Structure 1
Amino acid sequence: MMPATPRPQLVYLVFGSETYHQEAVFSIASALAWLEGTPDAALDIQVFSDNPQPYEKLPVRVRPLDEATRRRWNEPHGYHFRAKHVALREVLQESELALLIDTDTFFHCSPLKLFERVQPGTLLCNDYYTTYGNNKENVLYSALATTLKERGLADDQMTLLNSGVIGLHQKDAHILDHSIALIDELYPSVRGAYTLEEFCLSVAAYRTLKVTKCPDLIHHYWSRKQLFRAKVQAWVAKHAAQPTSVAALADTHQVTDRLPRPPRSQRMLYKLITLALPVHLRQFIREILYGCYDHPNEFDKACGPVWWEKALQNQKERVGTPVCHKVLEHWFTHRSVRLILGQRCAAIHEHLLNTPAK
């Protein structure tokens, strides 16, 4: 067997929708931007993917992931998050240090700082946020708690991890074998619970490894995902042709973790001017106006349509009935609405008419 490479390996697993590839490309560019000035040999980036094309202009190793391989990695139950642990296990067979990161991430600093937190006997995760006993209504608790406690694997004090980042030293790769075995065993009991993968990692690491986290080093935008995707997609639209150019890497720093909403004074103004509207339209138009604010940051500005779509979704929930085209037209032809929105009114109306129903 060849000796393991000591160079840290930053690993992505990307397949399916174009959106995930766009996220990965931006995340990688963000890492490269923070690595500027670091020797080239400091870090390797690997991408397991069903589509190598998006990564052709990036300094990464693409490892083809065909449908048959992915299906095998998801066996025996077809649980697609199982592949995360299998991919990282593959890399740790040949590398001393590896970190698998979800595509919906970007960096606040050099990725090398994440690897500084990965030592033998340590698991790096994105975050840990609660303990197992805090949500006894969850199927992962109701179906498994008694059995796991009897087997000495978990109790109410076990910390639950977010696996947007999984970083391990090769010496601790057996933790992945344990988590994979738990996924295979527990899947039928919890009806394929969405978070089973990170739950099993929590169980495998409990009382076995020191757990560290890194939300201060990366932004994992699992919350408010559509807003941050809009920022990322605006960057991709601008820089896809040259994702490692000076301008492209500089612009990664302009895609911030700031929630792109108007300042408080502007929101208060929106509240004031919408008092002229019928009660049932006030909150809806306030939220529409969030998407009209002229942010100085071009990537924040790109989030406007997402605010409009969210405003419509919230309005549907408030009125409790489907919003047909006729109702939407009635709202946007209201005299006060047209006065408040001005020239933007028709474009916003058109955009929402063409937004797929949710």
Structure 2
Amino acid sequence: MADTTHALIYLVYGRQTYHQEALFSIASAYARLRETPGEQLDVQVFTDNAAAYQGLPIQVHKLSEEALRAWQQPHGYHFRAKHAVLREVLQQRPRAALIDTDTFFRHSPAKLFARIRNGYLLCNAINPRLADTPRDFAFKQLIDHLKGREQIDEQMPLINSGVIGLTQENADTLDRSLELMDELYPIAPSVYTLEEFVLAVAAYKRLELVDCTDLIHHYWSRKQLFRAKIQAWLNKHESSLLSTSALDDTQLVTDRLPRPPRASRLLYKLRTLPLPAAMRQFSIELFYGCHDYDNEFDRACGPVWWEKAATNAIERHPDLPVEELLGDWLNHKVLRNLLGHRLEEIRRHLRQQDLL
């Protein structure tokens, strides 16, 4: 009989935000698992905060500081632990997938595990070839070091490791990636994506790559907007995260950024025309945060839009003292009238975020 239990691994430690992301990702997995009746899911969470997962039908492995440090040694590289924990699980399970916390499922996890086969490395996304990838001095040092040993060439594709899936038979890929990490980290400790790079090297010409962007949304950019949606979901369902209503609501936390309809966006542009040019985009983004979205979880993103309006304005106008001007902008007669009763709420939030 085929093994229908799938080992889905999360490594979660540190800030509470990461645990919140993991809880939502797990719930989305169970929500989508309903699409494939009869399939089972073995969620294993390695964490420094076991209490956050209390009551969920998952295996929680208490992660001590000593164990985490051991996985990160010999150089203390934090992403090394990802490969170490997956290697450990594959000693016991025929196949497993390690998934980052900033993810959620678009389809059943069964479809994800169907792509984990002998001779394949499952990753979140297959990125451009090495030849097409910009490289700074540190990254170039890594490439030159490995090219000298003929381990890579310019045709090697890079990957995003938000998901890593392997069979037990191919677990030695992780042995190679761990060895490479330990060797290369002292050469270029500033390369943030070293873990992804060495995994691509370890698999190159040994395993076929397969991605899963159609099955998993990995919100590695625009995180604050997605975290606002997830926080609203947690606030609503904190007493029963896997209830039917909670699982149904995971599908309302979409991968789309909350933006008003085109007609509303055009109206906001027209309303801001009387404002000074430097203020217009700032004001439009404030309106995005004030918009009454149909989706309750999109509405939760309003304060994040206000934060982005301020930070984007600062970045957009490096020649202007925008941080000093924000108070005056919010006090502009036209903008005051347009924002109405929402103005004080916006001011209060920006002050709380030290943006005003």
**Which of the five TM-score ranges fits, normalised by the shorter chain?**
over 0.9
User: CA 1:136–1:279 in structure 2 vs 1: closer, same or farther (change >3 Å)?
Assistant: closer
Return the letter of the residue paired with 1:344.
Answer: R
CA contact (8 A) 1:8 1:96 kept: no
Matched residue of 2:175: which SS?
A: helix
1:334 counterpart residue number = 332
Please tell me the root mean square deviation across aligned C-alpha atoms, in Å: 1.7
1:76-95 matches, within 5 Å, as 76-95=74-93
In the alignment, what sits opposite 1:13?
11
CA 1:29/1:87 → structure 2, altered by over 3 Å: closer, same or farther? same
1:117 is aligned to 2:115:
yes
- Asked whether the equivalents of residues 132 and 141 of structure 1 are also in contact (C-alpha less than 8 Å), the reply is no
The residue correspondences of 1:137-156 to structure 2 (distance < 5 A) are 137-139=135-137, 141-156=139-154
Q: Secondary structure at the match of 1:129?
A: strand
Letter in 1 for 2:349: H
Cα distance per residue 1:268-300 (max 9 Å; x no partner): 111111001122211110111111111100001
Q: Alpha-carbon deviation of 1:266?
A: 1.3
Task: Identify the residue that residue 31 of structure 1 maps to in structure 2.
Answer: 29
- Aligned pairs for 1:192-231 (under 5 A) are 192-231=190-229
Closer, same or farther: CA 78–322 of 1 in aligned 2, 3 Å? farther
Per-residue deviation, residues 208-251 of structure 1 (Å, max 9, x unmatched): 00110000001000021111111111111111111011110110
1:328 CA drift (Å) = 2.9
Structure 1 segment 162-173 matched on structure 2, within 5 A: 162-173=160-171
Task: Output aligned runs, 1:1-358, within 5 Å.
Answer: 7-36=5-34, 42-139=40-137, 141-320=139-318, 323-324=322-323, 327-356=325-354
SS of 2:185 mapped into structure 1: helix
The Cα shift of 1:6 comes to 7.3
Deviation at 1:193, TM superposition (A): 1.2
Q: 1: distance between equivalents of 2:54 and 2:39? A: 19
Is the partner of 1:43 in helix, strand or coil?
Answer: strand
SS at match of 1:189: coil
| One-letter identity of the residue aligned with 2:23 | V
Give the residue type in structure 1 aligned to 2:279: L
2: CA distance, partners of 1:201 / 1:177: 10
Kept in 1: contact 2:228–2:300 (CA 8 A):
yes
8 Å CA contact 2:28–2:247 kept in 1: the answer is yes
CA distance in structure 1 between the aligned counterparts of 2:316 and 2:246, rounded to whole angstroms:
41
Structure 2: how far apart are the matches of 1:333 and 1:146?
Answer: 56
Give, in angstroms, the shift of residue 327 of structure 1.
3.4
Letter in 2 for 1:353: R
User: Could you tell me how far apart the structure 2 residues matched to 1:330 and 1:199 are?
Assistant: 47
| Contact 2:307–2:355 (Cα < 8 Å) also in 1 | no
| Deviation larger for 43-52 or 272-281 | 272-281
CA distance, structure 2, for counterparts of residue 356 and residue 211 of structure 1 = 44
Determine if contact 1:6/1:97 at 8 Å carries over to the other structure.
no
Q: Which amino acid aligns with 1:173?
A: A
**Alpha-carbon distance in 2 for matches of 1:179, 1:199:** 9
8 Å CA contact 1:158, 1:206 repeated in 2: yes
The alpha carbon displacement at 1:356 in A equals: 3.6
- In 2, the alpha carbon distance for the partners of 1:338 and 1:136 equals 45
What is the CA-CA distance between 1:146 and the residue it aligns to? 2.5
Query: Offset of 1:136 from its aligned partner?
Result: 4.6
Work out whether residues 6 and 96 of structure 1, in 8 Å CA contact, stay in contact via their aligned partners in 2. Answer: no
CA distance in 1, matches of 2:29, 2:240: 15
Structure 2 residues not aligned, in runs of 5+:
none
Matched to 1:116, the amino acid is: A
**Letter matched to residue 28 of structure 1:** I
CA displacement at 1:8 relative to structure 2:
2.0
Q: Distance in 2 between matches of 1:231 and 1:190?
A: 36
Is contact 1:7–1:97 with CA below 8 Å preserved after alignment?
A: no
1:130 match: secondary structure: strand
Which TM-score applies when normalising by structure 2? 0.95
The whole-number CA distance in structure 2 between the counterparts of 1:254 and 1:316 is 32
SS at match of 1:188: coil
Q: Is the 8 A contact 1:291 1:303 kept in 2?
A: yes
Higher mean alpha-carbon deviation, 142-151 vs 285-294, is at 142-151
Q: Between the two proteins, what is the percent identity of the paired residues?
A: 55
Task: Determine helix, strand or coil for the equivalent of 2:123.
Answer: strand
Cα distance change on mapping 1:6 and 1:139 into 2, 3 Å: farther
Over residues 87-118 of structure 1, what are the superposed CA-to-partner deviations in whole Å (9 max), with x where a residue is unaligned?
Answer: 00010000001000000000011101001001
